[in-house]
Structure 1
C-alpha cells in the first residue's frame, strides 16, 4: 500500500484500483482480489466464498475475542450511459475529489478501512481480539447470495463476531455526523383483485374490480400506520403501482392490480402487516391474490459497550458527537443484526448512485483515520 504521510497508508490508490474493476452487481471483475491482495500480507486468513454468481470474501486476523467485523461491498449500481464527465471506471482526481462509480458507495469506504487496518496492524501487531472483514458483491443486487450467505458460513465455521460495523456512507453533511444504529423494515406487496368483465354501459352485469381496489387502497392510505416509536420515525405505506391492462375505454376489466411498498418500524413485523393487508382485502368481499416480499425486518442496536466505544472513537476523530439515526432504506446490516450488535458509519453519501459520483480525497483520508480510531477503541 502507498504511503501519503508518516505512518499512514493512503486509501486513494486502493480506491482507484477498486474503481477500475467494472463490478456492476453481481459481477466482480477482480474487485474482491484487490481486497484480498491488500489483506494477506497483513496476516489475514482469507476465504473466497462463491454463492451462485456472487463472489464474496471473509478475512480474519486473529482468533480471540472480542471479534470485530467490518462489513462492506465492492459491487456497484450501473453507471448509466449519459452525463459522466469521465469514464465511470477510470478513477480520476479532479478539483480535489476522486471521481468514479463506487467512489462514494462504497469502494471508497472499503479502501479507507483497508488503509486503517494496515496502519492499525503495523502499530499493534499483537493487538487483542481479532478483526475481520465481510466483503460481498451482492449488496446492490438481490442480496441473496452475499452477506446473508456469508454470515451462515461464518456461524457454521466459528466466526460469529461480537460486534460489527457496516461502512455505508451514513454521514449527512460532514464526516462522522451520523451513525445508523438501526433500520426500518421493508416489504413489497403485489395485489390482484378479481372482478367480472363487462360493458361499461351495463355495469349491473359486471363486477368492477377497479372500484373495489380503489376503496381498499383508500382505506390503507387514509390513516397513518403509526406515529413512530422510540428511535424510529413513523411507518409509511406507499402505493407504487396501479394497473388494469385495459386498452378499451368502454370495457370493465376483469381484474385490477396494485403494488405497495411499506417501510415499517418496530411496532410492526412483516407478518403483522401481511395480515393487515389480508384483512383489508377480505373486508371488501372480493376474490383476490396477495403476494408479499419482506426484504428485511426492522432492527435497532440498543445502547451498550459497543456503541459507547464507537461513539467515543467518532468524537475522538472528529471532535463532535454524532447523531444516532435509523432512517433511510435497507442495508446489509439487517442480516448482521441477527447475529450481533451492529451499526453503520461511513462517508458523506451526497453523490452515491449519481452521475459523476465522487468523494473528496481528504474525506477519504479522514475516513481512514476515523476507522483506525474505531479499531483502537473496540479492540482496546
Structure 2
C-alpha cells in the first residue's frame, strides 16, 4: 500500500507552488490521483490576479472524516541549493515544502485512496491569506454534501494531535513622504513619520512579553507573536523615502481578547499620522481535551493532544466541522532553507490517517 508515497511527495516538491505563483500545475497533478472520487474545482484569482485552484473530493457516504492540506509554500528565501530538487537522501526528502506541505499532502492522498469513505479538502494561499480555505467554506457544495463530522488538518506536528492554535491579525501601517534627491532638501522622508508609531509597536511588544494578563500558559511560548517587518520598497540610499511600511503579524489564542490592543494601535496610528490596515483571519480554533474528535485522535496517535503557537487553515475550516491538526514533519524545519521530512514519518502518517478514516467515532 502506497510504496510510491515518497516518489509522489518528491514529485510534488519539484512543482513550484509558492503562494505568489499559480498552483494550477500542482492542483492538476493532485487531481490525477483522485480516480473514483467526486471532484469539485473551486477556481479564483488572488489579489494580484494570479489564477488559483482549490479541490474538494469525496467518495463514500456522508458523515466521515475529512483530510485537509494546502498546496502552496512559502518563498525560497535563504536556500543555497535547489529548493525544488525533491532530493531523497538517506530516507529523508529535502526541498521547499517537503514538510510544509508536499509530504503531508502526499500522505493524505495515499490514505484517502485506500479508504472506502474519505473527504479531501485541498487548499492554497494557506501561507498568506487563507483564501483557499475561505473559498471552501463559502462555496463548496461537495463539502456540504459530504457533511464531515470532523476535519484532520495536515501540518507538521510530529504526528501529535493538536487541539488548538493561535490565529493571526495582520497589521499594515503606511507612512508617506515626498521623493527627491536626498541632497536637495526638497524631499520628505516617510521613515521620520513612521518612527513614532514604531515606538508604540515596541511598547506593545514589551507588554505582550512581560504582562501575564496578555499571556496564555496553555501555549508554548505563553506570549503572543508580534513580529515586525519594515519595508522602504527598494528606495536607494540617496533618495528620500516616499513610502515606508511596517507590517506586524500578531497571533493570539482563544482566551485572549485582541480588541484593546487593536484600539491602542488605531489610536497610535491616528496620533502619528500613518494609515492603518487591519486584516483578521478566523477566530483561534480550540477544542476541549475531552472533545470526541480529540480523544479519538489522541488514542490513535498514542500521544496526548496539545496546543501550538502557529496557525493553520483550521481557523477557517472550523466553520465546516471541528478540526484537529495532525501531521508528519517538524515545524522547526518548516519555512527554513533546510526543510526536510523523513519518508518513514510520511508512511506512519498515511497509516494513522487511514486508521482514523476507517475507525469508529469516540462517544460524546
TM-score bracket relative to the smaller structure? 0.7 to 0.9
Alpha-carbon distance between aligned partners in 1 of 2:223 and 2:59, rounded to the nearest angstrom: 41
Closer, same or farther in 2 for the Cα pair 1:239/1:91, shift >3 Å? closer
Which of 25, 32, 51 pairs up with 1:30? 25
- Does the 8 Å contact 2:281/2:316 carry over to 1? no
Q: Distance in 2 between matches of 1:61 and 1:69?
A: 11
State the alpha-carbon separation in 2 of the partners of residues 324 and 101 from structure 1: 27
- 2-structure distance, mates of 1:97, 1:29: 27
Q: Which piece of structure 1 moves more, 67-76 or 221-230? A: 221-230
Aligned to 2:70: 73
The equivalent residue for 2:88 is: 93
**For this pair of structures, how many residues does the alignment match?**
334
- In structure 2, the partner of 1:199 is none
Task: Give the one of 6, 9, 14 matched to 1:12.
Answer: 6
Structure 1 unpaired stretches of 5+ = 122-129, 196-207, 316-320
Displacement of 1:37 in angstroms is 2.3
Q: Please show how residues 201-350 of structure 1 align to structure 2 within 5 Å.
A: 212-213=196-197, 216-217=200-201, 219-224=203-208, 226-229=213-216, 231-232=218-219, 233-241=222-230, 258-269=246-257, 271-280=259-268, 287-303=273-289, 304-315=291-302, 321-328=303-310, 330-349=311-330, 350=332
Structure showing the higher strand proportion among its residues: 1
SS of corresponding position for 1:325: strand
Larger radius of gyration: 1
Secondary structure class of the residue paired with 2:18: coil
Q: TM-score, normalization: structure 1?
A: 0.74
- TM-fit CA distance, 1:286: 5.7
- Equivalent positions of 1:176-215 (< 5 A) are 176=159, 178-191=160-173, 212-213=196-197
Aligned ranges for residues 75-224 of structure 1 at < 5 Å?
75-79=72-76, 83-84=80-81, 87-121=82-116, 130-144=117-131, 146-154=132-140, 158-171=145-158, 176=159, 178-191=160-173, 212-213=196-197, 216-217=200-201, 219-224=203-208
Aligned in 2, Cα 1:322/1:255: closer, same or farther, shift over 3 Å? same
Secondary structure at 2:126 match in 1: coil
Q: Is the 8 A contact 1:193 1:286 kept in 2?
A: no
Point out where structure 2 has 5 or more consecutive residues left out of the alignment.
Answer: 46-50, 178-191
Superposed CA RMSD in Å reads 3.6
